[in-house]
Amino acid sequence: MFGLSMREVRFALIVSSAHFTQHVFYRVLPPLIPVLAVALEYPLWQLGLLITLYSFGMGVVQAPFGILADRIDRRYLLPTGLALAGAAYVLFALAPTLGAPLPTLVLFGHQFEGGYLVMALAMLVVGVGLAVVHPTGYPLITDNVSEANKGKVLGAFGASSKVGDGTAPAIIAGLILVLAWDRIILLFGLAGVVYGVGLYAALRGEEFETVPTGRRADETMGEGEQADDSGDRLDPEKPRVLEGDRRQFLYPMTAIYLFFVTSGLTSHGITAFLPVFLVAVYGYSVEMGGVTAGAESVANIYFAGVLLSGALLQLYLGGLVDRYDPRTIMLGCMAMATVGLVVLAFLPLGPYTLAAVVIVLGAGLYGINPARDALISDLSPPAFEGRAFGYIFTAVSLTGAAFPAIIGYLLETQGMRRGYGLLAIGTVLATGCILLLYSDRVYLEASATDTRSAPSD
């Protein structure tokens, strides 16, 4: 945070808290999968399908939210979405009771009882609610942070997501000892509703710019200027993005999209099933002061270590993004993630070496976010940034929506170690996608620099 003004620090804390909350909600379910599998007797692939439904719900609406984020005041979008996600988790916690009267649904020979159907609906709504964070958060950073400090705030924004990812399993590891799974989810849901209200209050003042760039430009245009057929004011950035040299936007964004998809094969396997992997392969437990932390709790502590290591590296790499080529940073992160995953999958590890490996894996897999997001932001003109992030995250979410269910099936049929070893294919292919960005046939670097310095108008 060195070099930021106090206003930028306050803004970074607020916008990062929203990303933190989003990822806390995203990670509530995976740590509870071992518990839900026993308590509800659902097969692993059905529990993975619940996570798939979250990704699908998020994927469907991020593009529309990106359009809205470029048109209406973002202080209304962001808090409402997070409060809605909290309310959906309250519904999830009440699912066994609310779903009991519902008939069992049979699809392709598989039964889905009423409680599961309510859970599925709740996870769809969670995804819809949390979908506002990316298309609103990144343009808010562009509008409220100087260019010299943007990488630092992107680092804090990305790090907060991994802190959220790590906080959820760490809290759940403790709560499992004293509360049933439905009470745990209920607490998270109620907290989300309260947070949404508080976030709206924090953004209500005039300290931060929440009105989109395009709307501010509209208010300054003369009455004689015409709107185009889509209802947008004539935007000089649009032809350059959509019709100019394809190396300025289309080709590099396609390479970044392919990076998302390929690396997502690995990241989905880690975030959805690492606790299950650690319980099945290692099953470590700890006894201290007469209290025994079972294998599920210890696995979630390791899981938290994976995510928190990614958060710490993002804070460091966010500052480097302001000074060095983001592509180089991305290559280094993918190398760390590949080595960590291969060692985790194929070598026997003791408790301490396991901790070291998961830290390296998490740092590489999740430390990459500031560099990745800086590339997307650099390629996107300010008036188009909400849509750019909305479109790419919609495409990525829809493409990767099936990954948790597929990976769950892979682990069941191939075994935990072999299945996790196959996930390294994702990081290897993702490295290839980054290398494409070094070719001037794909990425015209000078144009990216021009885009970065484009006036917000």
Q: Judge contact between 126 and 81, C-beta under 8 A.
A: no
* pLDDT at site 217: 55
Q: How many Å apart are CA 171 and CA 297, to the nearest integer?
A: 10
Q: What is the mean pLDDT of each run of 10 residues along the chain (457 residues)?
A: 80 93 88 81 78 80 84 89 95 88 73 86 93 90 85 86 79 85 93 94 84 63 45 44 70 90 87 82 75 74 83 84 86 93 90 91 88 83 76 79 78 84 90 91 62 37
Under a CB-based contact definition with an 8 Å cutoff, are residues 387 and 305 in contact? no
Cα angle value 57/58/61 (rounded, 5°): 90
Rounded Cα distance between 57 and 398, Å, is 9
Residue 429 neighbours by CB under 8 Å, 6+ apart: 262, 265
pLDDT score, position 227: 43
pLDDT value, residue 187:
94
Looking at residue 191, what is its pLDDT?
Answer: 95
pLDDT at 329: 92
- Report d(CA 270, CA 257) in Å as an integer: 20
Q: What is the pLDDT of residue 370?
A: 87
CA distance 346 to 418: 8
pLDDT at 232: 42
Task: Give the closest residue to 162 by CA, choosing from 267, 56, 8.
Answer: 267
> Which pLDDT score, from 0 to 100, does residue 455 have?
35
CA pair distance 216, 72, nearest whole angstrom: 10
- In this predicted structure, what is the pLDDT of residue 457? 33
CB-based burial of residue 413 (10 Å sphere; 0-12 exposed, 13-18 middle, 19+ buried)?
A: exposed
SS3 of the chain: CCCCCHHHHHHHHHHHHHHHHHHHHHCCCHHHHHHHHHHCCCCHHHHHHHHHHHHHHHHHHHHHHHHHHCCCCHHHHHHHHHHHHHHHHHHHHCHHHHHCCCCCEEECCEEECHHHHHHHHHHHHHHHHHCCHHHHHHHHHHHHCCHHHHHHHHHHHHHHHHHHHHHHHHHHHHHCCCCCHHHHHHHHHHHHHHHHHHHHHHHCCCCCCCCCHHHHHHHHCCCCCCECCCCCECCCHHHHHHCCCCCCCHHHHHHHHHHHHHHHHHHHHHHHHHHHHHHHHCCCCEEECCEEECHHHHHHHHHHHHHHHHHHHHHHHHHHHCCCCHHHHHHHHHHHHHHHHHHHHHCCCCHHHHHHHHHHHHHHHHCCHHHHHHHHHHHCCHHHHHHHHHHHHHHHHHHHCCHHHHHHHHHHHHCHHHHHHHCHHHHHHHHHHHHHCCCCCCCCHHHHHHHHCCCCC
